[in-house]
Structure 1
């Protein structure tokens, strides 16, 4: 696992506030501690094979959580030499100054990058692929529904009803997903949800013989995917600090759009080569492969064979331990038991209620467009199924590109001292008013080429919501972030239940695609902007059980991360 003994010693020493004697000079006390640690590192290196090292990594992570013997040695040494006892706890923000991202130019570079990057980045990388697979299984119905409707003789209303089935399960699993992620950890909940949605996708080619059976299978797909946003929010909150939050959220949640690109791009090819049933069989299999991979990486805290540094992400499962809890443990004080989940405080909080409505508004435009754009391009513009899917790729591709701008921009503004509340409101205003302006212009021009370009730009600007809406749950409460996302995303699932079939009904009754798709979305974008501007907040809320900073003290970055 370790590239060299010096690398392992340096990583371990750094994690415990000391340093390897091969790296820097240390006091005699710290040198003796380092020697003790170095001897044990050599035993591990010489006495085990690669698989044995993996077991050691798991064991080390668990032992650290239980205050291992080595950590106790460092703690006592710190006390003797007058070093703050908090130094015995691993740094909240790991020292990654010796690592920087370089775009890989060959397969060998990819391997080097994977082994050399910090473990928390591997955690995020695995998580983003969950979102990719999730949306592949979610959007495949948008393409497959066209040949399915022909085979089964469905009307546009029936097709909209089938597409909305996903959101029934998605809405039901939001709160349970948030609750379980808070209690057990997102790294346990996310693979379980992925197994459900993958198996449900796989049964469609076998048991999907009529409207009812396909509807039920799609409900189960939504049920499994519904835990993903809350679980991922919990994983991010446990893995990264506040200074990386917007980028991490933008990176992980952009996986949804990447999944849309892959799903909408691959599905029509598979349908042309075979039939619509093949799409569900192949996409469902991808989720099973991801689950096996994720359980291994998550279980090792992001460590992999031949990792260059020993820096597993701790506390990914079970109860969250915040900085205030760690300081209490250092003073020999017991951590109080968690109070019951303060559901009433959540519901009565104006900022949470505002976020619930904002999430509803955000998803109305996104879900309706995602579901109906392929049909719009085939029926309204007269393009082929393959070309319709290719045109539908443009908006999510642009969104992925814009996400690489929105997250770093928000993080930079926060680092330069801008108030977090102002940053979140600004980002979300761009995410709402950008698409609203684009849709309004497209409806007035009524030109197909202009419509495609404007929708691409509008949905791209929607990526600023990753630095607004989707980062705000962790601002309000790092401890309950996954539950808050479950609450707001329950509201966010309703547009899929209501908006997707309603759009199909409006299209049938009016025959006007722009009026049916754009006008309701514009209304919600504008009202969502106003509500968030008035009631939104980036300040931590004093919910029962939520650790709060002292008066005049800013929340520590570690309170939202697992380091």
Structure 2
């Protein structure tokens, strides 16, 4: 709600302060500059400390930033000619706080949800994001008429407090036992999963020839248990766990194996240094940097599609009420309520897309096929709908219907490129999301800013829709060639 309220408030603010369309685009893009700045940082922090903590900090931050806007825009600020810098700063700070939301969400889904239900969970999460847009579009004109645009930002800022309290209470904390076992240097999981039962000693010994030289039983067990949680384990943490549990692991293995020579006993005698050496190969395998992610064409497929998606998405988000007002002649309340419908369909479509994708995968359809098919529909249908908007003399009903179809089918991308991030790098979902969303935010900045200049120069949204439709087609071409539905980075 905090990010969409300006798309409604910009109309009375522009009238009050005399902002042309080009400046309106620059002001609305300020949010995205902050939003982009915390994508990678938010993803890295979420993978390190857990999505719950990072998102909680983000909620507190953007709520305070929203409150700052009416506080800064006092008569003295306006008289000094600092109105635009104050608005830009407030929106930039709001974007900084909200930028950690999606990487944190991606981290939580990757670490908490089974692969078979991943697309469904992502669809539900994005449905919540889109629901915030539609609630904001309904409340904003009502608040504007009651309290003015200053009151609008105050109300949405204050609403962040109960949201923060709910988030802190609803999402479970890291279990104390898991945090203690992982050690001070290890990433903090959001929730612990039961450890997989230890394999019998005979099976472990049979697998030993295929293990790296010097790998102990306890090292194998630690690697298996942590791999099942999709939580990265640092070399130091793995070494500590191996050293502390070596004796108990060896005893359990020997008891299962019965009398006879025991390799597990030798593992029990392993020193912390030896344990660290044994665990090091597994730890290093999970050390995937941003530069490493960029070496794969699968990553670039997600980046390109993210760029195209965000170009259109943020144009809809920031300019749709203005389009309905200027191009179709709706008043402030009607334009906001009309813009509500496309976001409602998008919210429903996000949940439905996840259910559809998981159902297809459960029936044996290859993941790559599912991701490619849904993303293709998510771009080609909106491209066709936008071309309808380019036709001269279309009715308001046709325009609203076309915009609703465009946003509704775009939501299928939640089960396409968004879910594909966890397919490609399941243990680095936060980092992957932050990387791809950084490129996407930059695209959104370009799109939102460009619309202002285009509309000011041409007095029409037609060139905007034509450009967006062309990008959708380009995105499909790249996606069909480079998309991969299997794990690339461990």
Q: Scaled by the length of structure 2, what TM-score is found?
A: 0.77
Instruction: Note the alpha carbon deviations across 1:313-369, whole angstroms, 9 max, x for none.
Output: x93169999755368989668654744442222111110011111100011111112
| Partner SS for 1:211 | helix
For residues 190-232 of structure 1, give each alpha carbon's deviation from its aligned partner in whole angstroms, at most 9, with x where no partner exists.
Answer: 0001111110001111113411011001001111111110000
Q: Which residue of 2 aligns with 1:468?
A: 416
Counterpart selection for 1:253 from 86, 101, 126: 126
Q: Select 2:145's aligned residue among 272, 286, 290.
A: 272
Which residue of the partner structure matches residue 188 of structure 1? 53
- 2:211 maps to what in 1? none
Q: Tell me the equivalent position of 2:387.
A: 440
* Structure 2 residue matching 1:381: 3-state secondary structure: coil
Distance 1:257 1:499 in 2: 20
Equivalent residue in structure 2 for 1:216, among 89, 92, 95? 89
Pairs within 5 Å for 1:384-533? 384-444=331-391, 446-447=393-394, 448-515=396-463, 517-533=464-480
Question: 2:190 corresponds to which residue?
Answer: 316
Change (3 A) 1:229 1:318: farther
Q: What SS does the aligned partner of 1:137 have?
A: coil
User: Per chain length, whose mean CA-contact separation is higher, i.e. which structure has more relative contact order (CA < 8 Å, sep 6+)?
Assistant: 2
| Aligned twin of 1:173 | 38
Residue ranges of structure 1 left out of the alignment (5+ in a row): 1-135, 303-313, 547-563
CA contact (8 A) 1:186 1:317 kept: no
Any conservation in 2 of the 1:187–1:317 contact (CA below 8 Å)? no
What SS is found at the alignment partner of 2:4?
helix
Q: 1:444 to 1:187 in 2, by over 3 A?
A: same
CA deviation vs aligned residue, 1:405-462 (integer Å, no higher than 9, x gap) = 2111110110111111111111111111111111112212541321110110111011
| 1:373 maps onto 2:320 in alignment | yes
Q: Given that residues 427 and 464 in structure 1 are in contact (C-alpha distance below 8 angstroms), is that contact kept between their aligned partners in structure 2?
A: yes
Q: Which of 130, 155, 160 in structure 2 is aligned with 1:287?
A: 160
8 Å Cα contact 2:33-2:95 kept in structure 1: yes
Trace 1:340-359 onto structure 2 (pairs within 5 A): 340-359=287-306
- Say if 1:184 and 1:317, in contact at 8 Å, map to a contact too: no
In the alignment of these two chains, the number of paired residues is 396
Change (3 A) 1:157 1:326: closer
Query: 1:290-301 counterparts in 2 under 5 A?
Result: 290-300=163-173
SS of the residue corresponding to residue 427 of structure 2 reads coil
2:201 match: none
Moved runs in structure 1, 4+ residues, more than 2 A? 296-302, 317-344
TM-score by length of 1: 0.67
Partner Cα distance (1:399, 1:351) in 2:
26
Measure how far apart 1:399 and its partner are. 0.9
> What is the root-mean-square deviation in Å for CA atoms of aligned residues?
2.3
Distance in 1 separating the partners of 2:121 and 2:68: 34
Q: Are the equivalent residues in 1 in contact too, given 2:357–2:370 (CA < 8 A)? A: yes
Q: CA deviation at 1:299?
A: 3.9
| Partner of residue 124, structure 1 | none
C-alpha distance in structure 1 between counterparts of 2:170 and 2:369, whole Å? 36
1: CA distance between counterparts of 2:224 and 2:3?
38
CA deviations 1:508-548 (Å, max 9, x no partner) are 11112122x2112111111111101000111101x3xx2xx
Take 1:343 and 1:438, find their aligned partners in 2: how far apart are those partners?
36
Please point out which of 10, 27, 34 is paired with 1:162. Answer: 27
Structure 2 unaligned blocks of 5 or more: 78-82, 176-187, 196-221, 229-241, 251-266, 268-274
Query: What's the CA shift string for 1:75-100, capped at 9, x where partnerless?
Result: xxxxxxxxxxxxxxxxxxxxxxxxxx
